[in-house]
Amino acid sequence: MITRHDLQALQSMTSVPALSILLPTHRHFPDNKKDPIRVKNLVDEATTRLSQEFADRDIAPLLARLETLVADINYNHTLDGLVLFVSHDFAKKFYVPFYVPERVIIDQTFATRDLLYGMHRTLRYWVFLLSQNATRLLAGTGEALEEVFDENFPMQMTGPAATAPIPYEADTAYVDDRHRRFFQQVDRAFATYSQPSSEHLPLVIGGVKRQISFFQEVSEYKGDIAGTLTGSFDRATIAELTSDIWAIAQTMRQQRHDDALKQLDIAMGQQKVVSAIEEVWRLANDGRGKLLLVEKNYHVPAIVTDNGGLKVVETPGGTDVMDDAVDEIIEAVLLKGGEVELMDDGELAQHQKIALILRY
């Protein structure tokens, strides 16, 4: 699944021009037969716009990278969305398990806002199915679950109380300690997946009560545990697990949404909220943004003034105009260590569709 690490890498890149092409795709035949045509149409649109705004010799390397990237698309393995990012010295595509709107964006930075929205709106989380026989790790993206099969997982306990007999003089305390040590090993291996993304995603823990208790005792990630599922899941299939785990995930998503609105109410009482987009721009870039709430379809073309401020314009286009200042604000908040929550249209009507909660 796409990680915050990927997102931060994209947000750190600045290039003129930076081309972003996004479109919804289809997982199955025959609907996915239409996807190559839609990609071609968007590539043609991007090429036309680039040719209008830049000299042919300046965009030739970018167009060559774009052609190579498009030729590498595997339309038999697309998911719900496809995103292409291309500049003079960079080209990368992402198949994403969530819908993205059809857009061609030419700017100084890549348009990551729809990826961010999908990553937030389509809840991402981890699932541990604890067992001494084979502890399993699953990556959750919305209702979809994908099991991790690599050098770490599934992980089987070895030695006494597992693959070897228990010593004759051993008691239940010995066996319990063996299980705690095994789940410490599981916990250390999990760092490989949680740390590179620079974020702690929620955890759902499944297993018998005793194993869940042992894991909670030893885990460095117990603060991320958002739900538990009791039972033995050694042989459970993804299809059998999906319904129960998705019910827990929906509760997590709603809680995150409600917490953001609660923080907004508290910050309003403390006069630590700004909603005018020009002021949001300034304070976000100053690093004062703690939490940004923004409606999912709020887009604003704008230019940066000589003194670093923001001036909203009527339409996008031209090298000086940002296609979407809101996308740049989101990136600024994240790069400065803040958080972002995307809301449904209309939820922030009293805040001009955007609200930045300030650190101070």
Mean pLDDT of 89-116: 90
pLDDT in tens, 169-188: 888 899 999 999 999 999 99
3-state SS, residue 83: strand
Which are the contacts of 182, defined by CB distance < 8 A and separation ≥ 6?
A: 132, 135, 157, 162
Rg (CA), the chain: 24
In angstroms, the CA 117 to CA 100 distance is 9
Determine contact, residues 296/257, Cβ cutoff 8 Å. Answer: no
Question: What would the pLDDT profile of 300-344 be if each residue is shown by its tens digit?
Answer: 999 999 999 999 998 877 768 888 899 889 878 877 888 888 898
Domain 270-358 -> CATH class: alpha beta
Residue ranges of the chain assigned to CATH 3.30.960.10:
4-120
Task: Give DSSP secondary structure letters for 214-247.
Answer: HHHHH-TTGGGEEEEEES--SS--HHHHHHHHHH
The domain made up of 4-120 has a fold known as: 3.30.960
**Where do the DSSP E strands lie in the chain?**
18-24, 81-87, 90-96, 103-107, 124-129, 136-141, 144-147, 203-207, 225-230, 273-274, 289-295, 302-304, 310-312, 339-343, 354-358
pLDDT tens track for 129-158: 999 889 999 988 888 888 889 899 999 999
Q: Is residue 2 pLDDT above 70, yes or no?
A: no
Instruction: Record the tokens describing residue 303, joined without a space.
Output: 């230019």
For 111-124, what is the mean pLDDT?
A: 77
Averaged pLDDT for residues 248-272: 93
pTM across the whole model: 0.64
Q: What is the pLDDT of residue 4?
A: 66
* CATH for the 124-257 domain, from 3.40.50.720, 3.30.420.60, 3.30.1050.10, 3.60.20.10: 3.30.420.60
Return d(Cα 41, Cα 32) in angstroms, integer.
15
User: What's the CA angle centered on 251, arms 248 and 254, to 5 degrees?
Assistant: 155
Which two three-digit tokens encode residue 210? 């005793």
Three-state secondary structure call for residue 193 = helix
**pLDDT the model gives residue 82:** 95
Query: In degrees rounded to 5, what are phi and psi of residue 139?
Result: -100, 125
For the record, the structure tokens of 73 come out as 């698309």
> CA 257 to CA 272: how far, in whole Å?
19
pLDDT of residue 354: 97
Answer for the pair 107, 127: CB distance below 8 angstroms, yes or no. Answer: no
**What are the two backbone dihedrals, phi and then psi, of residue 274, each rounded to the nearest 5 degrees?**
-125, 145
Residue span(s) of the chain under CATH 3.30.1330.30 come to: 270-358
The predicted pLDDT at position 145 comes to 87
Residues of the chain with CATH 3.30.420.60: 124-257
Q: What is the pLDDT of residue 1?
A: 58
Pair of tokens at residue 172: 């239940």
3-state secondary structure of 261: helix
C-alpha 210, offset from chain centre: 32
pLDDT digit string (tens) for 263-308? 999 999 999 999 999 999 999 999 999 999 999 889 899 999 999 9
Per-residue pLDDT tens digits for 29-64: 888 899 999 999 999 999 999 999 999 999 999 999
